[in-house]
Structure 1
Amino acid sequence: MKLCIFGGSFDPVHEGHVRVASRARECCGLDRVLFMPCSLSPLKEQAPSVSDARRCRMIELALKGLDWAVLDRTDLNLPPPSWSWRVAESVAACHPGAELFWLMGKDQWDSLEKWGRWRHLADMATFIVYHRGGAPASREGVRAVFIEGDEPASSTGIREALRAGVCPVPHLNPEVESFIRREGLYGIPRGMAEK
């Protein structure tokens, strides 16, 4: 089985995440993509702005009907901070014999040397790097597949659009948006109905 870990804050998950994962699946022949919300990245100063349970629920809504994409709580069940090598070890232990992949953006690829035990992670998984423009520089001895695209969606932009009263929010799954509005997330008054 070709199994891909797609970690991130998913704060909130958006259609761009799903499109990038789908593209990686097509390019690399992946059997399953694990959407894995992280608890607290060692490289980020702030934790996600909504609870783990709510981020998980949004991911479940965004992935509804996709048999190749699943929510995976492995990282949330490990003590923080979120060490990628530890996540990969846990996934490998749960799926013996699976070929592991790790989906990331170019910004993460560029900062890979800052990750804890990144060489150990590279020994366990092939990196799939989604990027805009020219191909990123390869690293000697590191397996990587580079996928070029121009995905416009961003969680930051979606949070800003929600606070600005945009409705519907571009690139946000309608069920996820309804959940955000019902729960009063990202500065929206709880239960605020769509316009």
Structure 2
Amino acid sequence: MKVGLFFGSFNPIHVGHLIIANTVRGYTKLDQVWFVVSPQNPFKSSKSLLSDVDRLRMVELAIEDNFDLRVSNVEFSMPKPSYTVDTLAYLKDRYPQHHFTLILGSDNLRHFHKWKNYQEILSQHGIIIYPRPDYEKDKIREEIKNHPAIRMVNAPLMDISATFIRDCIKKDISIKYLVHDRVEEYISAKKFYL
């Protein structure tokens, strides 16, 4: 099975994530997209993160009616901070019948050469890139920009961020249509991000 891995904090998961995952799956003929909920991104502070379990639960709620989308907590039991190359190696060992490909926003290409063992990710798995706002192709290293294992796909340009959603909640502004209804209900019931 061809599986696309969409890594993120999902703090919270929003409609932009869902649209990108579903669109990328359709354009690339992936069998499934797995949302890999990351406990800690090595390039981000973990101060504002909700618990791993709550972020995982929000992804479950958001995708429970789409059988082509799955959620994974694989990184919860791995050393922190977690690195993509290590997660890929673990998944490859655990699911040898699957072929895993990364799904990344175009903004990640600018610093991809700084990722741990990025050459191994390219040679073993490949990357599917979707467009992000303020994407500047000229600032990406040639070796990355023109690599045969990197495929650009047409997808809606989504300028929705979890930061914006958290800010709306703090200001008592509705987040309806920014997140799935079940996620909105969960956030409200738990009084998150206030």
Q: Per the alignment, in what secondary structure is the counterpart of residue 100 of structure 1? A: strand
Aligned to 1:160: 167
Higher-helix-fraction structure: 2
Structure 1 range deviating more: 121-130 or 44-53: 44-53
**TM-score, structure 2 normalization:** 0.89
User: Which blocks of at least 5 consecutive residues in structure 1 are unaligned?
Assistant: 188-195
2:30 and 2:15 map into 1 onto residues whose CA distance is: 19
Would you say the 8 A contact 2:168–2:175 is kept in 1? no
Would you say the 8 A contact 2:4–2:102 is kept in 1? yes
Read off the aligned partner of 2:125 and give its amino acid letter.
Answer: A
Alignment of 1:100-139 (within 5 A): 100-132=100-132, 136=137, 139=144
Aligned to 1:89: 89
C-alpha RMSD of matched pairs (Å): 1.8
Aligned to 1:22: 22
Aligned to 1:147: 153
Structure 1's 108 and 22: CA in aligned 2 closer, same or farther, altered over 3 A? Answer: same
Alignment of 1:59-70 (within 5 A): 59-70=59-70
Read off the aligned partner of 2:163 and give its amino acid letter.
Answer: T
Structure 1's 52 and 125: CA in aligned 2 closer, same or farther, altered over 3 A? Answer: same
Q: Per the alignment, in what secondary structure is the counterpart of residue 5 of structure 1? A: strand
- Over the matched positions of the two proteins, sequence identity in percent amounts to 24
Query: What is the deviation of 1:147?
Result: 2.1
Query: What is the deviation of 1:132?
Result: 4.1
1:36 and 1:182 map into 2 onto residues whose CA distance is: 24
User: Which blocks of at least 5 consecutive residues in structure 2 are unaligned?
Assistant: none
Structure 1 range deviating more: 4-13 or 35-44: 35-44
Q: Per the alignment, in what secondary structure is the counterpart of residue 111 of structure 1? A: helix
**Structure with more contact order per residue of length (Cα contacts < 8 Å, sep ≥ 6):** 2
Q: How big is each residue's C-alpha offset from its partner over 1:43-69, in whole Å with a ceiling of 9 and x where there is no partner? A: 123355200010011000000111011
Query: What is the deviation of 1:82?
Result: 1.1
Query: What is the deviation of 1:145?
Result: 1.2
